[in-house]
C-alpha cells in the first residue's frame, strides 16, 4: 500500500553528486559505505527479519545511516502488521534514539519516526481490546513519544471498553493501567492523565475514578507482585487521599520488599518511600497505622544507607577512598 506522508523517510534525500548516474542518493540510502545493495536487501526482507535486525543493532555501536534506513522500511510496513508489532517497532526505534546523542539529528529523527508509528494506530485502536490499549500507554511512557491529545483519545477508548464490559477493568488490569499512566505522567512527556480542561477532562476523570474503585475493591486479593509494581508517581500524585492511604497500608501489611517473594521489588519500595516523604505532608504519614509508619522508616534507613552510609556510622565507607588516594600518591611522586 502507498506510504502515508507522515511515514515517509525521515529527511529529504540529498541531490546526487556529479557523475553518480543512478547511484543511491541521500543519507538514508547510504548503508555501509554507500552500498545500494544493502538497501535493496532490506526491502526484500520480511518484517520479522527487519525487527530482528533492528534488535541486534541496538546492542551494537549506533549507526545513524543504518538506523535511518531500517526506520524507513519499518514505517512503510506499519499498516501491514498488527498493533502489537507496531508497538514493538516503536519500542525498538525509541531505544535506538535513546542511544544517540542528546541533541543529535539522528535522535530527533528516530523519535519522530517512533511518534509517527504510534500515531498510525489511531484508527486501528477503535475496536482494540483493553490489553492493547494499555500496552500503547506503556509504550508511550517507555519511549517518551506521544501527545496529550493522543493520551486523551486512549483514555476515551479505555472508558469505552469499560462501558462495553464492566468486568473488563479488573483489579489487576487497573493496577497495570495505573502504573502505565503514572510513568507517562512522570516521563519527559509530562502528560496529564487527568486531562488539561475542556470536554475531554470529564472522560479522563471518570477513567481515573474507575481505576481507583477497582484497585481498592480488589486490594485484599491482589498479589504482592502486582501491588509492588504499582507506580510511585501514581500513588503520590494521581490517586486520592483515601486510596493512597489504603494502598500504602496494604503494602506495609504485606511487608513488600522485605519478604522473600518480593525482595526483588525492594528498590521500588525505597523509591516509593522517597516519593512519600518528598511529595506528601507529614500529616499523611502520621495518619497511617503504626505498622505502616515502621515499614516506611525501615525503607528510609535503607535509602540512607545506600546514598549516605556515613550518616549511619558505617566504618568501611572510607576504605575504598583511602585505597584510591594511596594509589594516586604512589603513581605521582609529587603528591
- Structural domain count of the chain: 3
Q: Which residues contact 261 (CB under 8 A, 6 or more apart)?
A: 224, 225
Domain boundary among 159, 189, 222: 222
Task: Give the range among 44-58, 84-98, 130-144, 261-275 with minimum mean pLDDT.
Answer: 44-58
Domain boundary among 121, 139, 174: 121
- The confidence score (pLDDT) of residue 330 equals 56
Are 7 and 112 contained in the same domain? yes
Q: Is residue 334 part of a domain?
A: no
Are 246 and 282 contained in the same domain? yes
Mean pLDDT of the chain: 81
Q: Is residue 184 part of a domain?
A: yes
Q: Is residue 273 part of a domain?
A: yes
Q: Is residue 232 part of a domain?
A: no
Q: Is the pLDDT of residue 12 over 50?
A: no
- The confidence score (pLDDT) of residue 155 equals 96
Are 149 and 212 contained in the same domain? yes
Q: Is the pLDDT of residue 229 over 80?
A: yes
Q: Is residue 129 part of a domain?
A: yes
- The confidence score (pLDDT) of residue 282 equals 93
CA atoms within 13 A on the CB side of 55: 9
Q: Is residue 231 part of a domain?
A: no
Are 260 and 214 contained in the same domain? no
- The confidence score (pLDDT) of residue 11 equals 40
CA distances from 63 to 35, 122, 260, 301 (A): 15, 30, 43, 44
Domain boundary among 222, 255, 284: 222
Are 166 and 56 contained in the same domain? no
Are 2 and 103 contained in the same domain? yes
* Radius of gyration for the chain, computed over Cα atoms and rounded to the nearest angstrom: 25
CA distances from 5 to 8, 11, 61, 113, 119 (A): 5, 12, 30, 12, 12
Q: Is the pLDDT of residue 18 over 50?
A: no
Are 135 and 109 contained in the same domain? no
Residues of the domain holding 93? 1-13+22-121
Task: Give the range among 12-21, 91-100, 130-139, 177-186 with minimum mean pLDDT.
Answer: 12-21
Are 114 and 1 contained in the same domain? yes
Residue 259's closest CA among 227, 301, 220? 227
Q: Is residue 86 part of a domain?
A: yes
Are 256 and 297 contained in the same domain? yes
Q: Is residue 322 part of a domain?
A: no
CA 95, CA 67: separation in Å to the nearest integer? 11
Are 94 and 131 contained in the same domain? no
Cell of 68: 535511518
CA 43, CA 217: separation in Å to the nearest integer? 51
Residue 200's closest CA among 162, 154, 246, 143? 154
Are 105 and 72 contained in the same domain? yes
CA 194, CA 181: separation in Å to the nearest integer? 10
CA 130, CA 150: separation in Å to the nearest integer? 16
Interval 155-202: pLDDT, tens? 999 999 999 999 999 999 999 999 999 999 998 888 999 988 887 789
Q: Are 233 and 239 in contact (CB under 8 A)?
A: no
Task: Give the range among 21-30, 137-146, 305-314 with minimum mean pLDDT.
Answer: 21-30
CA 44, CA 300: separation in Å to the nearest integer? 56
- Count the residues in the chain: 335
The pTM for the full model equals 0.77
- The confidence score (pLDDT) of residue 102 equals 74
3-state secondary structure of 326: helix
Split at pLDDT 50, 70, 90, the class of 272 is very high
Are 214 and 142 contained in the same domain? yes
Q: Is the pLDDT of residue 141 over 90?
A: yes
Residue 129's closest CA among 168, 177, 171? 168
User: Mind spelling out the 3-state secondary structure of 299-310?
Assistant: HHHHHHHHHCHH
Task: Give the range among 148-152, 293-297, 307-311 with minimum mean pLDDT.
Answer: 307-311
CA distances from 75 to 125, 131, 148, 175, 213 (A): 18, 23, 23, 32, 39
Q: Which of 42-46, 53-57, 66-70, 235-239 has the highest mean pLDDT?
A: 235-239
Q: Is the pLDDT of residue 326 over 70?
A: no
Amino acid at each position: 500500500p502507498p506510504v502515508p506522508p507522515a511515514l515517509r523517510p525521515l529527511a529529504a534525500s540529498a541531490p546526487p553528486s556529479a557523475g553518480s548516474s543512478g547511484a543511491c542518493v541521500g543519507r538514508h540510502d547510504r548503508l555501509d559505505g554507500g552500498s545500494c545493495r544493502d538497501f535493496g536487501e532490506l526491502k526484500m526482507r520480511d518484517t520479522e527479519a527487519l525487527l530482528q535486525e533492528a534488535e541486534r543493532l541496538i546492542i551494537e555501536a549506533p549507526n545513524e545511516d543504518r538506523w535511518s534506513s531500517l526506520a524507513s522500511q519499518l514505517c512503510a510496513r506499519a499498516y501491514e502488521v498488527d498493533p502489537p508489532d507496531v508497538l514493538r517497532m516503536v519500542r525498538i526505534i525509541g531505544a535506538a534514539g535513546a542511544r544517540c546523542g542528546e541533541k543529535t539529528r539522528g535522535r530527533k529523527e528516530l523519535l519522530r519516526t517512533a511518534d509517527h508509528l504510534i500515531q498510525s494506530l489511531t484508527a486501528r485502536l477503535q475496536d482494540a481490546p483493553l490489553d492493547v490499549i494499555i500496552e500503547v500507554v506503556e509504550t508511550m511512557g517507555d519511549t517518551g513519544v506521544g501527545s496529550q491529545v493522543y493520551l486523551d483519545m486512549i483514555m476515551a477508548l479505555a472508558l469505552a471498553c469499560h462501558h462495553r464490559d464492566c468486568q473488563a477493568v479488573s483489579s489487576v488490569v487497573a493496577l497495570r493501567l495505573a502504573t502505565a499512566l503514572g510513568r507517562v505522567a512522570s516521563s519527559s512527556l509530562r502528560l496529564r492523565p487527568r486531562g488539561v480542561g475542556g470536554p475531554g477532562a470529564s472522560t479522563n476523570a471518570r477513567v481515573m475514578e474507575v481505576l481507583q474503585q477497582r484497585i481498592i475493591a480488589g486490594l485484599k486479593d491482589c498479589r504482592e507482585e502486582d501491588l509492588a509494581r504499582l507506580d510511585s508517581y501514581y500513588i503520590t500524585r494521581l490517586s486520592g487521599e483515601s486510596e493512597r492511604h489504603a494502598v500504602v497500608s496494604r503494602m506495609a501489611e504485606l511487608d513488600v520488599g522485605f519478604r522473600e517473594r518480593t525482595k526483588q521489588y525492594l528498590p521500588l519500595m525505597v523509591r516509593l518511600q522517597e516519593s512519600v516523604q518528598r511529595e506528601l505532608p507529614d500529616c499523611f504519614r502520621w495518619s497511617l497505622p503504626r505498622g505502616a509508619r515502621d515499614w516506611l522508616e525501615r525503607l528510609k534507613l535503607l535509602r540512607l544507607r545506600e546514598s549516605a552510609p556515613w550518616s549511619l556510622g558505617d566504618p568501611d565507607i572510607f576504605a575504598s577512598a583511602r585505597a584510591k588516594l594511596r594509589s594516586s600518591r604512589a603513581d605521582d611522586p609529587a603528591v
